[in-house]
Copies of this chain bind each other. A is one copy, B any other.
């Protein structure tokens, strides 16, 4: 069975039938719009577009992983403001010959990634497209706190990261090289490329701890910290020795013949969080201090200025 066999309303019913609604969703799918709780009188909103062939490949990733990834990258943006995600809405472009099993897996991926943070899919739109196109917007609740911006880094702050770095880049390289994925390490990085595991709860935690600035590492740590440096009018100095390269990333680098630190510093799509904190804040072990903020501009690694390396969508 394909999407075309069911027709638009059949597809919508099939999708919504698989989606339980969380507590924050006051009115779910089925009307012109959804209604979501925004308890403190504000709502955080983020949006992203994922395109087949550019952000995922159906021969590399199943529907379930694509759904989880699409939800994850938006939920991570909300967490990076210090907010708790409440819901997502999804605009879906799909080919008529798309197997229904793939659509079901995609839907389940949205559902399960949302469930990680207690959110749900509040609404959406389905249209026909030659390739799979996914537009996700995520909403979140700041719980009375101020949002943590990119512009709040000040000299004297320490720079810390939490979550995976370099995993998705390693997994992409393994797939690109066509390596046999036999070992647990290679399996782990390939799985990480297919499906990120953002450290969602660390976002609100960082806000509670008094983070001065925070963002989601989506285009690569150096490039993303460049945004913090620019928005804050400061210089960020990173200590390459401070990065503990994770074992699976190191193994994959050896197999591919790449520099694992390059992946850690410039690889995107893991959706780690990077934040700066006043130096007196006592950070939980989940945060790894990797540098500090000084007067000046740009991002430097061990005294060497680096360009904006990462992912420019029009290069």
Q: Chain A: residues with CB nearer than 8 A to chain B?
A: 3-4, 6-9, 11, 26-27, 30-49, 51, 54-55, 77-78, 80-81, 83, 87, 89-93, 96, 122-129, 133, 135, 137-140, 142, 147, 149-150, 214-216, 231, 312-315
Contact = CB atoms under 8 A, between A and B. Distances in A.
Contact of A41 (B11, B41, B44, B89): B41
A313 B8 contact: yes
A314 B128 contact: yes
A161 to B, nearest CB: 15
A236 to B, nearest CB: 17
Given A49-B93, A127-B51, A313-B126, A34 B30 contact: no
B137 A54 contact: no
B32 A123 contact: no
Contact of A43 (B35, B215, B231): B35
Contacts of A126: 313
Contact of A49 (B135, B150, B215): B135
B49 A149 contact: no
Q: Which 3 pairs between the two chains have the least Cβ-Cβ distance?
A: A135-B135, A38-B38, A49-B91
20 contacts: A3-B314, A4-B314, A11-B314, A26-B42, A31-B81, A31-B215, A32-B46, A32-B81, A32-B216, A33-B81, A45-B87, A47-B89, A47-B91, A51-B127, A54-B129, A89-B137, A91-B137, A126-B313, A135-B135, A135-B137
B149 A27 contact: yes
Nearest to A9: B312
Nearest to A138: B33
B35 A42 contact: yes
Contacts of A4: 314
A7 B312 contact: yes
Given A313-B126, A314-B3, A314-B96, A45 B30 contact: no
Contact of A34 (B8, B45, B312): B45
A35 B41 CA distance: 10
Contacts of A77: 32-33
Given A81-B31, A127-B313, A38 B47 contact: no
Nearest to A80: B32
Nearest to A91: B49
